[in-house]
Structure 1
Amino acid sequence: MKLIFDCRFIRNDHHDGISRFSTELFSALAKQIDLVALISDKRVLKWLPADTEFILGNAPTNALAELGLARKLNSQGATHVFSPMQTMGSLGKKYKLVLTLHDLIYYFHPKAPSSLPLLVRFAWRLYHLSFTPVRILLNRADAVVTVSETSKDLIEKNRLTTKSVHVIYNAPESRSVIDEIARPSSVAVRNKLVYMGSFMGYKNVEVLVEAMRLLPHYELVLLSKISSKRKSRLRELAGSAESRVTFKNGVTELEYATELAGAFALVSASKDEGFGIPLVEAMGYGIPLILADIPIFREVAQEAARYFDATSAELFAKQVLELEKPGMWDELSANSRVRGDFFDWDKSASQLLDVLKKL
């Protein structure tokens, strides 16, 4: 097998979800089989294992050059190619191709991130208005990968592909700081409810903020970057609890690890989600989760969380207070560690390799 892994979605500056997924999965797979990285920028090699063999190709955003990509990979003797996206060019391919559709979140919530250029946001919205484009893209593959059973069910329910769909789970980013963090010795001194995620409408952060008026002994710590306008609205919503709602507006890796390690719980009232990487990251520290009761959260967290109706600040507050009962926090913390161990890049790499070998 000559396996080429599409690493062109790895960012040079810092990882987003696809970049981190690509980096971690490639690195884990490289421990198990010889493979070649397809890159469009040599600077991303810093994220990959030393002496990684690579092919320099076009940027994945160059649609014209993408039409000739398969011929280039054919000439390199590729027998199998994996891409962490579904848009990879395949015209004239002579190899087995595995494409990825991580989730369907933007088909149900097609508003593009405001950080993107206006033209890109327009194209984004058009692309996600119909399933037809993604059906065409996925059916070029020999197999399709997604990151959860929830997403697999949605792909099959919406008939997005006639090809086999395989679950390759996400896992937490490899971090070297996890053992350096000092953890509070007693749950009694923990009072932070930590949220990591965007502030898009479906994330429903309003419920968390409203609930703080019912939780006078707790602080809600919102870690992600936020616009001034959104911040002002949430502060108004907090009312008398405003002083206990903290906006970090972005954190470093070490700051993130410190906040997680000392948290009472990781929280989310999201009405929908693609996966929920912060859940897995929190479980790595044995932190209990208090989550909206949606299928993907049930799948990822299982017994590591307490769940609530996402429309109710009162029910969220009730679940926070339930964790104060004797032994409850320790029980969920233990469950969290056990569940967190399930998500492992080496295991995910082995599962992907099995998919490739069976084609």
Structure 2
Amino acid sequence: MKIVFDCRYVRADGRHDGISRYSAGIVAALGRLHEVTMLVSDERQLALLPDLPWVRTSAPTSPLEPLVALRVNRLGPDIVFSPMQTMGSFGRRYRLVLTLHDLIYYRHRTPPAQFAWWLRLLWRVYHLAWWPQRVLLDRADAVVTVSETTKSLMTEHRLTRRPVTVVYNAADATGTVSTAPRPRPEQGVLVYMGAFIAYKNVEALVRAAARLPGYELHLMSRIAPADRRRLEALAPDARLVFHDGVSDEEYDAVLRRATAIVTASLDEGFGIPVIEGMRVGTPAVISDIPIFREIGGEAAVYFDPTDDASIVDAVRSLETPGEWERRSALSLEQADRFSWDRSAEVLLELLRDVHNSGQRAGA
């Protein structure tokens, strides 16, 4: 079985986003289980990818994308996996598995800023109705998604007639993986990793931080100067630490001395930072939304993201004697459910099933 993995969504600037990290994590683990050829559109993407055979083709944002299968055919694949649902398939002579990560953009229609203007326009139009998604997904032989939460939403909205398999997202391993609970940190450190866009609801965390005088809120991601000024003005009494982007090593170091990883997001596709915190024994204090219940399980502390007092109470609950240590131990157990190796095993089984069914159909 010859597998081609579409790695064209990996960032070329050396810094992962969600789709990029998912692509790199899965293909690296899959490559340890089976021979894989990576499809890239920019050789700079290789800096974030494993040392596996690769072929270059057009970018997924190219106007030629609907015809990309004609070029992929030349590689002679038996099956192609794409971590997105938009990979062109016209004229394909191979089995195809596509991925739908979440339905966030149906509720929050602002497209990714890095897209060209015409692509942002198409993005908005595309998310005005469900039928374009159905057309894209039904071109595949099977569909992958990253959570049971999204799978249930896909069923609710009847987005595909194809079988849907959950291949979980996971967190990259940085530093030494914790195997035992650690003592509660003496200093109150809350860590937020994520964007500063409306549905992330970072403002609620900042307001809550102003009511937690014994805590610092560390904002790890790159931030525009205007957003920083706005957050600082929102709660002058809050102890905010702006890192404006960090290396994986710096991020790991802050997580390991943190009281909690926090997010007040109103909506999410998965929530990798939650797993990143839990896998080093740092409890998660997070919004009470379905996807976080799925990935946080019994380990996380949940709050109402529309109520600042609820956030404060959730953080303070970790001050109860023994509670932080209990949550830390549960976090390690919960995070162990999510790994690239385990996800790659699920994906490989799916690819084999799809490949075998295609052979039977052609027999």
Q: Secondary structure of the equivalent of 1:68?
A: helix
Q: 1:77 to 1:213 in 2, by over 3 A?
A: closer
2:158 alignment partner in structure 1: 159
Q: Structure 2 matches for 1:262-277, cutoff 5 A?
A: 262-277=257-272
2:322 alignment partner in structure 1: 327
Q: Does 1:100 align with 2:99?
A: yes
Q: Structure 2 matches for 1:29-44, cutoff 5 A?
A: 29-44=30-45
Q: Which deviations, in whole Å up to 9, do the C-alpha atoms of 1:310-355 show, x marking residues without a partner?
A: 1111111111111101110000000011111111111101100111
2:357 alignment partner in structure 1: none
**Aligned mates of 1:193, 1:31 — CA distance in 2:** 36
Q: How many residues align?
A: 352
Moved more, 31-40 or 123-132: 123-132
2:63 alignment partner in structure 1: 63
Unaligned runs of 5+ in 1: none
CA displacement at 1:93 relative to structure 2: 1.7
Contact 2:182/2:281, CA 8 A, preserved across alignment: no
CA displacement at 1:72 relative to structure 2: 2.9
Structure 1 letter corresponding to 2:277: A
Which of these residues, 218, 227, 232, is aligned with residue 224 of structure 2?
Answer: 227
Contact 2:134/2:159, CA 8 A, preserved across alignment: yes
Q: 1:47 to 1:228 in 2, by over 3 A?
A: closer
1:213 alignment partner in structure 2: 210
CA displacement at 1:197 relative to structure 2: 0.9
Aligned-pair identity (%): 48
**Aligned mates of 1:353, 1:343 — CA distance in 2:** 16
**Aligned mates of 2:287, 2:232 — CA distance in 1:** 22
**Aligned mates of 1:185, 1:97 — CA distance in 2:** 45
Contact 2:13/2:44, CA 8 A, preserved across alignment: no
Q: Structure 2 matches for 1:102-181, cutoff 5 A?
A: 102-114=101-113, 116-175=115-174, 177-178=175-176
Moved more, 140-149 or 206-215: 206-215
Contact 2:222/2:245, CA 8 A, preserved across alignment: yes
2:333 alignment partner in structure 1: 338
Q: Secondary structure of the equivalent of 2:190?
A: strand
1:45 alignment partner in structure 2: 46
Contact 2:182/2:328, CA 8 A, preserved across alignment: no
CA displacement at 1:21 relative to structure 2: 1.1
Structure 2 letter corresponding to 1:269: A
Q: 1:228 to 1:42 in 2, by over 3 A?
A: closer
1:187 alignment partner in structure 2: 184
CA displacement at 1:116 relative to structure 2: 4.8
TM-score by length of 1: 0.92
Q: Secondary structure of the equivalent of 1:314?
A: helix
Q: Does 1:22 align with 2:23?
A: yes
**Aligned mates of 1:199, 1:48 — CA distance in 2:** 27
**Aligned mates of 2:136, 2:249 — CA distance in 1:** 39
**Aligned mates of 2:182, 2:162 — CA distance in 1:** 51
Contact 1:24/1:174, CA 8 A, preserved across alignment: no
